[in-house]
Amino acid sequence: MPFEITKSFSFDAAHQLGANVAPGHRYATVHGHSFEAELAFAGTPDPATGWIRDFDEINALVATLRATLDHSYLNDVPGLERPTLERLCQWLWERVKPQMPELVRVSVRRGSCREGCSYTGPDARA
């Protein structure tokens, strides 16, 4: 695809990964992060509008996602019972892709940890 646009948004949330780690591991207790998510959309701009996707539409969807995630305990969000970076990317993908088929990548970063993950959908793994 010749063009790619992105939309970033941030949210602050708490989680714990006790099911993934041994007792005493630093991730076993409840802790929080400032997360930065990025949605990437690719395609050929519509000849009439010049856009791949209207940013107002993207912003409206992002607002609903952010309202669910921001200042929440991620383990309590349906589908995020094990809220790893990988699962956060997939969770976002599953909520955006059906509404916006131009989505090609979801990235989530924890800037203070200098860690991140990107997901390009289930078809990319084949």
Which amino acids are annotated as binding site for Zn(2+), given as ranges? 15, 31, 33
Angle at alpha carbon of residue 20, lines to 110 and 122, rounded to 5°: 65
Annotation: binding site: 15, 31, 33
Name every residue whose Cβ is closer than 8 Å to that of residue 52 and which is 6 or more positions away in sequence: 3, 4, 5, 41, 42, 43, 44, 45, 46, 102
